[in-house]
Amino acid sequence: MNGIVFDIKRFAVHDGPGIRTTVFLKGCPLSCRWCHNPESMSAEICSFPKTVRIGDKTFTEEETIGREISVNNLMAEIRKEKIFMEESGGGVTFSGGEPLQQYEFLLEMLQACHAEGIHTAVDTSGFASWSVLEKVAQYTDLFLYDLKLIEDTAHKHLTGVSNQLILSNLQRLLESGANVRIRIPFVEGATFTDKNIDETLDFLNALAIKPEAIDLLPYHNTASHKYERMKMVNEFDGMKSLNKGELTDVRERFESAGFSVKIGG
């Protein structure tokens, strides 16, 4: 089976334990207004003009985003770093976009990794049917599960979809015994509000089964050039980036509630 991948990051250290290879799958059903990877939203392979400077000359060339790759060929790429994964307790992380969007390809990749003893992580928005998530969970050692906004109207407004499926999938995953790290992207003007922090803590405190840990991810305003090249509107252009120090108080609040918390991925 073939999938569409738009990037492969080697020697990643923020996408799960140890040294990892992170595979970015194309396509996402959400449209978060602060998205760092706007090139990932479309499920199709696409191309955009890219300006290249050589000396005092400027050229414009087309850059293709996404390529089709088979399970066998992607496994061959992953195997190149297997020694580093084994020695560091790392593995492979599937990210996106939303990797569950290509769930049949994802499932085959997860099965192939497990057959070779490679640790697997899936970085997901949780926006998929439970039947898909349940199948994927059988071959996923760790979920990196995004929790953006608890209030549904705000979630719809800022991500384009309701969070009801996301929240119920998270509860079901935890109850099924899956290992889950929650990831909360804190974005000034969107998710980083007292109201959302209070509601997120209330939601997590009410869970019958608690997640393994929580990562607080400060937003960095670094994707403007991508929006420009793709001629997409960047509503968060100019939005202030957050630094780790600004999340110290929030971390203390989550830790006081009994959670293991890390700032950054």
Residues 38-97 interacting with ligand SF4 (rule: CB under 6 A): 40-41, 96-97
Minimum distance from residue 151 beta carbon to ligand SF4 (Å): 17
The distance from CA 141 to its chain's CA centroid, rounded to whole angstroms, is 16
Choice from 4, 12, 25, 35 touching ligand SF4 (CB under 6 A): 35
Q: Pick between residue 75 and residue 154 the one whose CB is nearest to ligand SF4.
A: 154
Task: Say if residues 97 and 40 touch (Cβ distance below 8 Å).
Answer: yes
Quick one: which segment of 24-32, 79-87, 150-158, 168-176 binds ligand SF4 (CB under 6 A)? Answer: 24-32
Tokens encoding 198: 């209070």
Is 49 in a helix, a strand, or coil?
Answer: strand
- According to the 3-state scheme, what is the secondary structure of 205-262? HHCCCCCCEEEEEECCCCCHHHHHHHCCCCCCCCCCCCCHHHHHHHHHHHHHCCCCEE
For 164, half-sphere exposure in the C-beta direction (CA atoms, 13 angstrom radius) is 2
Choice from 15, 98, 108, 215 touching ligand SF4 (CB under 6 A): 98
Quick one: which segment of 35-43, 62-70, 75-83, 242-250 binds ligand SF4 (CB under 6 A)? Answer: 35-43
Choice from 5, 19, 23, 30 touching ligand SF4 (CB under 6 A): 30
Q: Does 218 bind ligand SF4 (CB under 6 A)?
A: no
The distance between the two most distant Cα atoms of the chain, rounded to a whole number of Å, is 62
Q: Pick between residue 119 and residue 183 the one whose CB is nearest to ligand SF4.
A: 183
Cα 143–Cα 146–Cα 148 angle in degrees, nearest 5: 165
Q: Pick between residue 110 and residue 149 the one whose CB is nearest to ligand SF4.
A: 149
Q: Does 37 bind ligand SF4 (CB under 6 A)?
A: yes
Q: Pick between residue 174 and residue 190 the one whose CB is nearest to ligand SF4.
A: 190
Residues 120-179 interacting with ligand SF4 (rule: CB under 6 A): 125
Distance of alpha carbon 81 from alpha carbon 91, whole angstroms = 9
Q: Does 16 bind ligand SF4 (CB under 6 A)?
A: no
Q: Alpha helix (H) ranges present in 55-163?
A: 71-79, 82-88, 103-115, 130-137, 152-159
Binding site residues, ligand SF4, CB under 6 A: 28, 30-32, 35, 37, 40-41, 96-98, 125
